[in-house]
A and B are shown apart, each in its own frame.
Chain A
């Protein structure tokens, strides 16, 4: 099958997967620029795992509720708790995140052990992120979150940029830096929980890190970094889907692999440019 035929087949047969992967790729790539710049990449990994745990908990009879609600609730509560714990001096920041990460993974495995076999398999599918079977409800929810989060991010671009660059000085000018910080992480929490439910934790974490780092290697202006990161986040998933379809590969890992190749190319051009 020719490339253009594969492409049109995906768009025709799996429109939600096609547009959904672009939505997730773009928004994770945008938020990821701040996450990488603030050196809180581990927080991205932690929130994806907490989101998966929230999702897994909804399979327990006592906590039965819509998966998206469980995942989002767990992630947002964690964000609020972490916003307190991460500013404390008693436990190092990385240690707090490590505790939450390890606990989330461990509890998720225990939960899966106590769910009926069929449902455990379903959880595994969700974790692997089978984009091809995105439901219309989840897609609408993700699209709504995309519009709201991107609107807030773009409307308050200079405030988020200032808070990320120098929160101490921003606070002296009357900005409530704690509230802005919490808002940023709540928005990230919403995106991560919906996205993880939709495409899986590998895709989400991968796109929080790989496109921003590639963009930082390719361009040297702040606005260009956001733009290039978003472009990679929007284009690489499409290439990944086509390759997954052509070579019968799992979609999420293929999409992440494409972003990794882009990162390697960006790094190599940086090396070549550095030699000139």
Chain B
């Protein structure tokens, strides 16, 4: 995990003249499993956009370094609530969209593309709902279909924006286990944004705390400390370890952050 894939060098990020994050420097490595946490509006999604190349830095640079001769391929999983279409696409049609760039303009999906789509659906265990309409699926099923679409693009790096937002406990655990297995079994580099600290703390290998005036990156043990979280949320936060699990206690220890 020593080959840097993405390098932020004194990058200032924002929209128009509004700077959201200033002078950010860090690296994401090949094989990394990085979680980004922080309060709402802190700039987590802004960093994702810079990684994905849809947002250019105002200052400094964000470099994506190829592993070999071909460029790094990203598989993006957006917040599922951001997809709001009246058109009743099936799960299979949604996953096929992940192949569109490879299929190219003026061409139809080939046998190879259809095979990749089926494999992706099977890989995330939603092959049986391939013909169901995306809009009719549960939150967890939608998330799996969107992950399948990202996998259909044959990515080197999987980027997920709030993948467990608004899910019940069992769906959350199931989706996080799936993401972790894509990292550990399939060797994908994974970057995951979440405002749910527990989700991130108990799954990722490294963590980035994103806040406008407080940016830290390191291993979970290095970064996820009571002091750092107290500084980020501007309220008392404690971090407890129960066996292999990390528990975040906020507001004097009466609840989890």
Contact = CB atoms under 8 A, between A and B. Distances in A.
A168 interface: yes
Contacts of A175: 101
Interface string B100-120: 110101100000000000000
Contact of B82 (A37, A168, A171, A172): A168
Interface stretch (B4-12, B28-36, B84-92, B226-234): B84-92
A162 B78 contact: no
Contacts, number: 69
B87 A171 contact: no
Given A156-B105, A162-B100, A173-B153, A168 B78 contact: yes
A168 B84 CA distance: 12
Interface in B47-74: 52-54, 74
B28 to A, nearest CB: 16
Nearest to B133: A220
A166 B134 CA distance: 13
Given A37-B87, A165-B85, A222 B93 contact: yes
Contacts of A221: 88, 90
Contact of B78 (A156, A159, A169, A225): A169
B100 A164 contact: no
Interface string A145-174: 000000000011011011011101111111
B100 to A, nearest CB: 6
Interface residues of B, number: 27
A183 to B, nearest CB: 12
Contact of A216 (B52, B83, B84, B86): B86
A159 B54 contact: no
Contact of A37 (B85, B90, B94): B85
A148 B149 CA distance: 32
Contacts of A37: 85-87
Interface residues of A, number: 26
A10 to B, nearest CB: 35
A171 B53 CA distance: 9
21 contacts: A37-B85, A39-B84, A39-B86, A156-B105, A162-B97, A165-B87, A165-B89, A165-B97, A166-B82, A166-B83, A166-B97, A168-B54, A168-B76, A168-B78, A171-B54, A172-B74, A172-B76, A216-B86, A220-B133, A222-B88, A222-B89
Query: 9 tightest A-B contacts by CB?
Result: A172-B76, A172-B52, A173-B101, A37-B86, A37-B87, A171-B54, A222-B87, A165-B85, A162-B97
Interface of A: 33, 36-37, 39, 155-156, 158-159, 161-162, 164-166, 168-175, 216, 220-222, 225
Interface of B: 52-54, 74, 76, 78, 82-90, 93-94, 97, 100-101, 103, 105-106, 133, 149, 153, 159
Given A166-B82, A172-B74, 7 more contacts: A33-B87, A155-B106, A156-B105, A166-B83, A166-B85, A173-B74, A173-B101
